[in-house]
């Protein structure tokens, strides 16, 4: 649970890589594709006589072939209610029968469901003292506990009890702060550095440049997503242009710093 851009999907990717040594072990199901009643058949396959019967289900076929995986149901609240009835089988018995009558085993999978329900509550909690709720001197609960209680209340209004009762753990993601964005900058830049090393290009980024990117890419409402755009526009695009022009070649070293309150990419040193 949490607002957009706080790393819910990234956590699922990291978990897949940690458990199975492969980020490709993440099976991502975008629930916005299952908003209509008939879309349920896409997961388990079309009934006999319908187009696509021989192809199998989008979910069951993947898990049948790759039983060890992390399954991410992204933005679960967007799915049609019939989808939840089908998910009850997976969450309870760890199995699902496809349209051909084959039982698919989900017992070796980790099921993660993300939702933006309660994101407004979390955003208010980040913007106001006492996590956005009025002070109640008779309420001895920890502020984070009160936030979680409010979110649980919102969940109960949206999901049926039999569905929520099968969820093992509820994790609340709070809005990112600027100092946390700095850690995200390090992660994003490490990926850039590794990609450039494949071309034998060394990238040296100063702490001032990292701080500039973190400040420029910070947005409390949208999380870390604006940061990706800032890195793309301010760093990756200019670097890509220099590589295409030939001013940055294999074996070069490029230093990135801040000059006159702007990101400055130095000349390549060969």
Q: What is the pLDDT along the chain (270 residues), one digit of tens a residue?
A: 888 888 888 899 999 999 999 888 999 999 999 998 888 888 887 776 666 666 778 899 999 999 999 999 999 999 998 888 888 889 988 999 888 888 999 999 999 999 888 777 777 766 665 443 344 444 545 667 777 788 888 888 888 889 999 999 888 887 788 888 999 999 999 999 999 999 898 999 999 999 999 999 988 788 888 999 999 999 999 999 998 988 888 888 999 999 888 898 887 666
Here the CATH number for the domain that contains residue 75 is: 3.40.50.300
pLDDT of residue 107: 94
70 inside domain = yes
| Residue 68 sits in the same domain as residue 160 | yes
Count of structural domains, the chain = 2
124 inside domain = no
| Residue 51 sits in the same domain as residue 98 | yes
| Residue 186 sits in the same domain as residue 103 | no
270 inside domain = no
| Residue 155 sits in the same domain as residue 186 | no
| Residue 160 sits in the same domain as residue 207 | no
Here the CATH number for the domain that contains residue 211 is: 1.10.8.60
| Residue 202 sits in the same domain as residue 154 | no
- Domain span at 63: 8-117+147-164
139 inside domain = no
Q: Which two tokens stand for residue 24?
A: 């490709």
Gap between the Cα atoms of 234 and 162, Å rounded: 49
pLDDT of residue 230: 93
pLDDT of residue 138: 45
Gap between the Cα atoms of 121 and 3, Å rounded: 9
Gap between the Cα atoms of 32 and 39, Å rounded: 10
SS3 208: helix
126 inside domain = no
| Residue 14 sits in the same domain as residue 101 | yes
DSSP string, 114-150: ---TTHHHHHHHHHSGGGGS---TT--S-HHHHHHHH
pLDDT of residue 238: 92
């Amino acid at each position: 649970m949490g607002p957009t851009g706080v790393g819910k999907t990234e956590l699922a990717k990291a978990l897949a890589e940690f458990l199975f040594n492969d980020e490709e072990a993440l099976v991502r199901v975008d629930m916005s594709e299952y908003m209509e009643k008939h879309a349920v058949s896409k997961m388990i396959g079309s009934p006999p006589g319908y187009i696509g019967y021989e192809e199998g289900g989008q979910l069951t076929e993947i898990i049948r072939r790759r039983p060890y995986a992390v399954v991410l149901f992204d933005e679960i609240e967007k799915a049609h209610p019939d989808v939840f009835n089908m998910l009850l089988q997976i969450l309870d018995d760890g199995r699902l029968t496809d349209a051909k009558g084959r039982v698919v085993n989900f017992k070796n999978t980790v099921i993660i469901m993300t939702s933006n329900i309660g994101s407004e509550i979390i955003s208010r909690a980040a913007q106001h003292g006492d996590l956005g709720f009025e002070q109640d001197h008779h309420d001895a609960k920890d502020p984070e506990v009160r936030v979680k209680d409010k979110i649980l209340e919102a969940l109960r209004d949206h999901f049926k009890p039999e569905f929520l009762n099968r969820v093992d753990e509820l994790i609340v993601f709070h809005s990112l702060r600027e100092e946390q964005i700095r850690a995200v900058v390090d992660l994003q830049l490490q990926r850039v550095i590794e990609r450039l090393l494949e071309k034998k290009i060394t990238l040296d980024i100063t702490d001032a440049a990292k701080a500039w990117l973190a400040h420029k890419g910070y947005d409390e409402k949208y999380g870390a997503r604006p940061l990706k755009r800032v890195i793309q526009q301010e760093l990756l695009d200019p670097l890509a242009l220099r590589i295409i022009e030939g001013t940055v070649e294999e074996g070069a070293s490029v230093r990135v710093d801040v000059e006159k309150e702007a990101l400055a990419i130095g000349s390549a040193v060969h």
